[in-house]
Amino acid sequence: MSTAEATADVNRTRWQLMDRGRMISEMTDLKAEKEQWMTLQRVQKEQIDLDLKMAYLNRIDRLDRLKELIENHESEWFEALYSDLGKSEMESYTSEITTALNEIAYMKDHLKSWMEKETQLNRKAIGKSEQSILRKPYGSVLIISPWNYPLQLTLVPLIGAVAAGNRCFVKPSEKSQAVSHLLNKTLSHYFEPEEIFVVEGEADTAQALLEMNWDHIFFTGSSEVGRNVYEAAARTLTPVTLELGGKNPCIVDGSLCTRETVRKIVWGKFLNAGQTCIAPDTVYVHASVKEQFTRLAVETIREFYSREPEKSKDYGRMIDEKHFDKIKSYLTQGDIVYGGSGRRETLFIEPTVMDNIETDAPLAKEEIFGPVLPVVSYESLHDLLEMLKRQDAPLVTYLFTDKSSHIDEVEQAIKTGTLMVGQVIFHGADPKIPFGGVGNSGMGRYHGRASYETFTYEKVLYHQKKDYANKMIFPPYKSGALNTLRKVRKWFG
């Protein structure tokens, strides 16, 4: 089928929608839906090369439309994020909206230079050649986003994919329904389905999408589901980026257990009610300052959220009852120092500090992803690092110390996506810093230049300008040719 025919097919059906790009809500036959997705996917793939002469301007235009989508509907994003996660407007703006807008601004500032062809002229023993490297968009990209930061973790990879020149399918999480519906509504309004298309649905919908032949898959979520995505991508040899999670250790030595350190850790832990993939998971505090740390942590929680955090407008909620039950189950696996209360009907769990964690308990092994802060003491940094080395590589490791030797020791010992010293979480919102994990915490990087490289492939253009030794390199080989080539190679370095 030609591009024109495929486009006509899409235009004839146009998914029988009142709003452009919205999925047919009445359809219950997933197989029929998938056939329509495949028709649109084919159009997306074939239209990648249609705008090459105007590629830069078209990409900037799409970035501008994404910016308008965010700014023009700010109050609606606030309402949706509060509905799904109980997020305050301040938290929604700083951790969701601002991150996406900063990403767009950074992309627009640097996109032109990133799109330029890199060319080198080489003189070698066989002749003179010109090599160029061009970064080309993959084509039709599938982005599967999670529920914990449903706006930011959908839009930031989408911004990178669009800046790189791709067309996209977006599958937001079914758990964050309010944001998912609003993403569908706004993206369908600002973009044609041939540019960006949103698919809402449950796990079977995601599975059906993964069975299609994508040019790239970008997934953010749990390690368990990430493995399934990786297996699906392997069947079609599709490149994949996995942004996963893990138990991010936070080490506080005896030199920097200050009120400011504790404020940073408590803020990072209980942001979004602990439902953050780069939150400090467990704090390892030197035994000499453990009591001080715990006291400061309790004081800081009260300072941030009052003695009645359920009434605080700045404290969020669990995403659903299933997640509430999982987090509540952790509270029996050690001693509660502070907090521990909850209300299932409102999905509220109090900011909680715990001690004496059972070594083999799920709380000690699983990514917590909730408002529970285990505090574990250590005597020897070397012994602590030996223990942490036996765990899966985390997405990020946090370290609070004023000793450069400790920084060097942790950097050398721990395999981690990021080592952050003296601060928490900020790196995840900076478009200048590549973001991603390693091993069980993910593969691939994004944000800024890393996003542009993730969503493009390198295409090499090799042009032989002049030959010096063609007659010598073809058989039958003449006597003395090898010595001649040796001399020529040395002359060219």
**DSSP states of 381-416 as a string?**
HHHHHHHHHTSPPPS-EEEE-S-HHHHHHHHHH---
Q: Residue 276 and residue 266: Cα distance in Å, rounded?
A: 13
- Whole-number average pLDDT of the chain: 92
* 486: confidence class by pLDDT, cuts 50, 70, 90: confident
pLDDT, position 328: 98
Higher-pLDDT residue of 489, 445: 445
Of 124-138, 214-228, 417-431, give the lowest mean pLDDT range: 124-138
Instruction: Report the relative pairing of strands 167-171 and 196-198 from DSSP bridges.
Output: parallel
pLDDT, position 122: 78
In terms of Cα–Cα distance, which of 143, 172, 175 is closest to 159?
A: 143
Average pLDDT over every residue of 298-314:
97
Average pLDDT over every residue of 411-438:
97
Yes or no: say if 185 and 169 are a contact pair by the CB < 8 Å rule. no
Average pLDDT over every residue of 220-228:
96
Yes or no: say if 273 and 282 are a contact pair by the CB < 8 Å rule. no
Q: Which of 33, 195, 277, 453 is the catalytic position?
A: 277
Of 142-151, 284-293, 376-385, 463-472, give the lowest mean pLDDT range: 463-472
Query: In this predicted model, what pLDDT tens digit does every residue of 336-351 receive, in sequence order?
Result: 999 999 999 999 999 9
pLDDT, position 350: 98
Task: Please determine, for residue 288, whether its predicted confidence score (pLDDT) is greater than 60.
Answer: yes
pLDDT, position 17: 39
pLDDT, position 445: 97
pLDDT, position 13: 40
pLDDT, position 11: 46
Q: Which of 195, 243, 367, 453 is the catalytic position?
A: 243
| Cα first-last separation, the chain | 52
Strand partners, 404: none
Percent of the chain with pLDDT over 70: 91
DSSP category for residue 340: -
The total of other beta-carbon atoms located within 10 Å of residue 399's CB is 24
pLDDT, position 493: 55
Average pLDDT over every residue of 281-293:
98
Query: In this predicted model, what pLDDT tens digit does every residue of 119-175 receive, in sequence order?
Result: 887 766 567 888 899 999 999 999 999 999 999 999 999 999 999 999 999 999 999
* 419: confidence class by pLDDT, cuts 50, 70, 90: very high
Yes or no: say if 419 and 397 are a contact pair by the CB < 8 Å rule. yes
Average pLDDT over every residue of 312-327:
98
Main-chain phi, psi angles of 445, to 5 degrees: -130, 155
Q: Residue 28 and residue 305: Cα distance in Å, rounded?
A: 45
pLDDT, position 470: 63
pLDDT, position 48: 81
Q: Residue 332 and residue 354: Cα distance in Å, rounded?
A: 10
Q: How far is CA 112 from CA 448, 453, 466, in A?
A: 13, 14, 32
Tell me whether residue 168 is one of the annotated catalytic residues.
no
Query: In this predicted model, what pLDDT tens digit does every residue of 36-92 receive, in sequence order?
Result: 999 999 999 998 865 566 899 999 999 999 999 999 999 999 999 999 999 999 999
